[in-house]
Amino acid sequence: MIALLGATGYTGKLVAAELSKKGVPHRFGGRNPEKLAAVPSDAERFVLDVGESARLDEFLDGATAIISTVGPFIRLGMPAVEAAARNGVPYVDSTGEQQFMADVYSKFADAPVPIVPACAFDYIPGDLTAAIAMADLGGDVSEVAVHTQASPIPSKGTARTTVEMAEAMSSEAKVRRVPFPDGVKTGVEFPFGDVPLARHAAGAHVVTTMVMPGVAAPVVRRLSGVLPRLAPLVERLPEGPSPKLRSRAKFRVLAEALGPDGRAAVYCEGRDVYGLTARFLVAAAQKVTGSGAMAPAEALDPIPFLDAMTYEDEHGSFSWRRLSA
């Protein structure tokens, strides 16, 4: 029985649909009874607020895992983590917020169950492919880099997170040349996965970039200090992109491990980051192992997990492969 907290939000609805599609026993939790009732499912519904610890305990009674999509996580996410640890229920979430992840890693290192933030598209592909690249290289790894290129069709929640992350981006952020399979691209260093990745990089230098057209990189660097001021405009965005737009939005991620013995690289690509997020969260909730707060690659077996996620249909796709040196 998986407990889904935040089932009425954009990502939460997609996760709810994935749970129903897969036939996974589940229950929903949210604070608005009307919105909760409108989620199409026969699942049990719990009306609760994240600040109600006793109600959270009831929500987790009998659950085998909890998926949280309640954000912004830095303000609203911690009670669900505390409840999961308190009740011995494995935890995964959709956060992309660096500070929240760092706080979870610090506070729940000794939790009796796996506590695994960042199990959505933002981090699963990069974290797991980086782990594979490091293992393939073997020996000393001096640098591990993850480069992400994705079509800009954010949901309101993703836009909020992007604005928050922009505050951590320096106007002096470095521009790097990234060797994608179809040619060299431009990447701007951006805090996009370095917090979880640093946990299992064995002391290697960690680099994460957003890939964009070369002419855009200087503009983005100059705007990094301005983006946080755009927060009020974010609230005017629609809840999220339509299924049609999602199916057209392509992404790709390149992970590189560099060391004295050379370079190992792993590449993944696909369409529909939000649909894939739902797939990742449901699968991660069923497969995380271990105990304590962990990065995705510490709680999941990267190769079998990514193999199981490979698919292609009219709505989206995902595939991964190793690249030759």
Model pLDDT for residues 118-168, shown as the tens digit of each residue:
999 999 999 999 999 999 998 899 999 999 998 766 555 555 555 555 555
In a shared domain, residues 99 and 166: no
**What does the pLDDT read at residue 194?**
82
**What does the pLDDT read at residue 152?**
63
In a shared domain, residues 224 and 281: no
**What does the pLDDT read at residue 173?**
73
In a shared domain, residues 319 and 179: yes
In a shared domain, residues 282 and 206: no
Domain coverage including residue 212: 124-273+305-323
pTM of the complete model: 0.89
**What does the pLDDT read at residue 166?**
53
* HEC per residue, the chain: CEEEECCCCHHHHHHHHHHHHHCCCEEEEECCHHHHHHCCCCCEEEECCCCCHHHHHHHHCCCCEEEECCCCHHHHCHHHHHHHHHHCCCEEECCCCHHHHHHHHHHCCCCCCEEECCCCCCCHHHHHHHHHHHHHHCCCCCEEEEEEEECCCCCHHHHHHHHHHHCCCCCCCCEEEEEECCEEEEEEECCCCHHHHHHCCCCCEEEEEEEECCCCHHHHHHHCCCHHHHHHHHCCCCCCCCHHHHHHCEEEEEEEEEECCEEEEEEEEEECHHHHHHHHHHHHHHHCCCCEECCHHHHCCHHHHHHHHCEECCCCEEEEEEECC
In a shared domain, residues 101 and 128: no
Q: How many domains does the chain have?
A: 2
**What does the pLDDT read at residue 274?**
93
In a shared domain, residues 128 and 65: no
**Per-residue tens of pLDDT for the chain, all 325 residues:** 999 999 999 999 999 999 999 999 999 999 999 999 988 888 999 999 999 999 999 999 999 999 999 989 999 999 999 999 999 999 999 998 999 999 999 999 999 999 999 999 999 999 999 999 999 998 899 999 999 998 766 555 555 555 555 555 555 678 899 999 999 999 988 877 788 999 999 899 999 998 986 544 454 545 455 555 555 554 555 567 888 888 989 999 999 999 998 999 999 999 999 999 999 999 999 999 999 999 999 999 999 999 999 999 999 999 999 997 6
